[in-house]
Amino acid sequence: MSFSVEPLNAETVVIRVGKALDFRNAAEFKAICQEQVQTGVRNFILDFSETGILDSTGLGAIFSLYRQVSPRNGQVVFASVSRPVQVVVQLTRTYKVFRQFPTVEAAQEALQQT
């Protein structure tokens, strides 16, 4: 399993993205998120601390998640963004949509306040 899911409360989970999110495991990522959405989760904290590869298919999977949760006022936020992930986020200007936090805890705190 490339991803681990850690529930914080009924509406929020942390997903540890692991070493890579790319065309090889993007379908698995989508399925895992889908399961969470179906149980009522709408806030996702994606932990990128160990992530060395994020390709366009992987990013597309994150976008799908965003489009699913945003009509429910849900959020997708990034935590501990590694340098390779930062490059992709800069290039696609997606930092305009996904808030970034230095740690999972900081992301959690910010989500609790909204």
Partner 1 sequence: MARYSILVVEDEHTLRRLLEYRLSKYYRVRSAANGEEALQLVLEEIPDLIISDIMMPKMDGFALQQALQSRKETRAIPFIFLTAKADEHSRMRGMRMGVDDYITKPFDIDQLLARIERLLERTKYFQTQLDARIGQDFSKKLMPKQLPSVPGYRLYFHNSPKEYGGGDFFDWTQHPSGSFFITIGDVMGKGLQAKFYAFSFLSYIRGTLYAMLQTAQSPAELLRRVNHVLMQDTVMEETFASLLILRWDPTTHEITYANAGHCRPILVKDRQTAEVVEYSDLILGLDSNATFQDATITIPAGGGLLLYTDGLMEQRTASGEMIGEQGLCELAPKMVGAEDPVQTLLQGILSRCNTDTFDDDILFFWMERLS
Q: What does the binding site for partner 1 look like in residue numbers (CB under 8 A)?
A: 23, 55-57, 59-60, 63-64, 66-67, 87, 91-94, 96-97
In the complex, the smallest distance separating the C-beta of residue 87 from partner 1, rounded to whole angstroms, is 8
Q: How far is the CB of 22 from partner 1 (least distance, A)?
A: 9
Q: How far is the CB of 90 from partner 1 (least distance, A)?
A: 9
Q: Is the Cβ of residue 8 or residue 56 nearer to partner 1 in the bound state?
A: 56
Q: Closest Cα to residue 49, out of 12, 91, 78?
A: 78
Which residue's CB is nearer to partner 1, number 8 or number 64? Answer: 64
Considering the complex, state which of residue 39 and residue 92 has its C-beta at the smaller distance from partner 1: 92
Q: How far apart are CA 58 and CA 63, in angstroms?
A: 9
With tokens 């945003």, the residue in question is 70
Shorter beta-carbon distance to partner 1: residue 10 or 87: 87
Q: Chain centroid to CA 106: how far?
A: 15
In the complex, minimum distance from the CB of residue 4 to partner 1, in angstroms, rounded to a whole number: 19
Q: Which residues contact 49 (CB under 8 A, 6 or more apart)?
A: 16, 79, 80, 82
Q: Where are the beta strands (DSSP E) in 42-86?
A: 43-47, 53-54, 75-79
